[in-house]
Amino acid sequence: MMRIIFATGNQNKVRECHEILDSVADEIISMKDAGLDPDIAEDGDTFEKNAMIKAEAVHKLAPDDLVIADDSGLCIDALNGEPGVYSARYMGKDTSYDIKNANILERLEGVPKEKRTARFVCAMAAILPDGSSFTKTGVMEGYIGDHAEGQNGFGYDPIFFVEPQNHSTASLSPDEKNAISHRGKAMRAMAEELKKRLDK
Which residues from 83-122 bind ligand IMP, rule CB under 6 A?
87-88, 120
Do 158 and 168 meet the contact criterion of CB atoms below 8 Å apart?
yes
Which active-site residues does the annotation give?
71
Mark the segment that binds ligand IMP (CB under 6 A) among 19-27, 29-37, 126-134, 149-157. Answer: 149-157
> Which residue, among 115, 113, 138, 116, has the nearest Cα to 125 in the 3D structure?
138
Helix (H) or strand (E) holding 90: none
Least distance (Å) between residue 127 CB and ligand IMP? 17
> Which residue, among 100, 95, 176, has the nearest Cα to 140 in the 3D structure?
176
Nearer to ligand IMP, 184 or 194 (CB): 184
Residue 138 identity (one-letter amino acid): G
Q: What Å distances lie between residue 161 and 7, 100, 124, CA to CA?
A: 29, 16, 23
Instruction: Phi first, then psi: give them for residue 43, nearest 5 degrees.
Output: -110, 20
Least distance (Å) between residue 199 CB and ligand IMP? 30
Least distance (Å) between residue 29 CB and ligand IMP? 17
Q: Strand locations in 37-94, DSSP E?
A: 66-76
* Local structure of 4: helix, strand or coil: strand
User: What residues contact 49, with CB distance under 8 A and at least 6 apart?
Assistant: none
* Local structure of 185: helix, strand or coil: helix
Question: Which of 66, 153, 185, 194 contacts ligand IMP by CB under 6 A?
Answer: 153
Which residues from 34-73 bind ligand IMP, rule CB under 6 A?
70-73
Nearer to ligand IMP, 178 or 197 (CB): 178
Question: Which of 157, 168, 186, 191 contacts ligand IMP by CB under 6 A?
Answer: 157
Nearer to ligand IMP, 145 or 155 (CB): 155
Least distance (Å) between residue 79 CB and ligand IMP? 14
Binding site for ligand IMP (CB under 6 A): 70-74, 87-88, 120, 153-157, 181
From the annotation, which residues make up the binding site? 8-13, 71-72, 154-157, 177, 182-183
